[in-house]
Amino acid sequence: MPRVYCADHTAHIRDRLKRQALYFATGELVAVFVAITFAVLLSLQDAAPHALAVLGWGLVILLASVAVLGLLITGVQYLVYRRRRADLDAEGAEVIGELYARLHKPPSRE
């Protein structure tokens, strides 16, 4: 079977950033779902305890804040990746080239 050289040395970085973005976007959707559910439950109850309402909305705000912060950090990481992609590709090619040279070096005849 012939060997195929994959020239994309930064695919793992893009995959990690995509997974992070999906993870935090899912967290944001969960926070919205929890907020809607909590609002409906509070509207169905006549007199909800004030402490429970404050605790519930505080939890919803915390969940949404963590998800938004994660998305912002992922966005900044993506911008840094885009800026450094050429350097990262060159470094990856150099490392792979050295590895292949060591693996396929003919045996020394001494």
Return the percentage of the chain with pLDDT > 90, whole number.
Answer: 40
Over residues 37-52, the mean pLDDT reads 82
What pLDDT was estimated at residue 106?
A: 64
Inside any domain, residue 96 = no
Low-confidence winner among 25-39, 46-60, 93-107 (lowest mean pLDDT): 93-107
Q: Where are the alpha helices (DSSP H) in 8-103?
A: 11-44, 50-103
Inside any domain, residue 93 = no
Return the higher-pLDDT residue of 98 and 107.
Answer: 98
Inside any domain, residue 105 = no
What pLDDT was estimated at residue 43?
A: 83
- Report how many domains make up the chain: 1
What is residue 56's three-state secondary structure? helix
Average pLDDT, the chain: 83
Inside any domain, residue 99 = no
Q: In Å, what is the CA distance from 92 to each residue of 8, 10, 16, 95, 104?
A: 9, 8, 17, 5, 18
Its domain, for residue 40, covers: 11-84
Inside any domain, residue 2 = no
**Cα-based angle 73, 67, 12 (whole degrees, multiple of 5):** 50
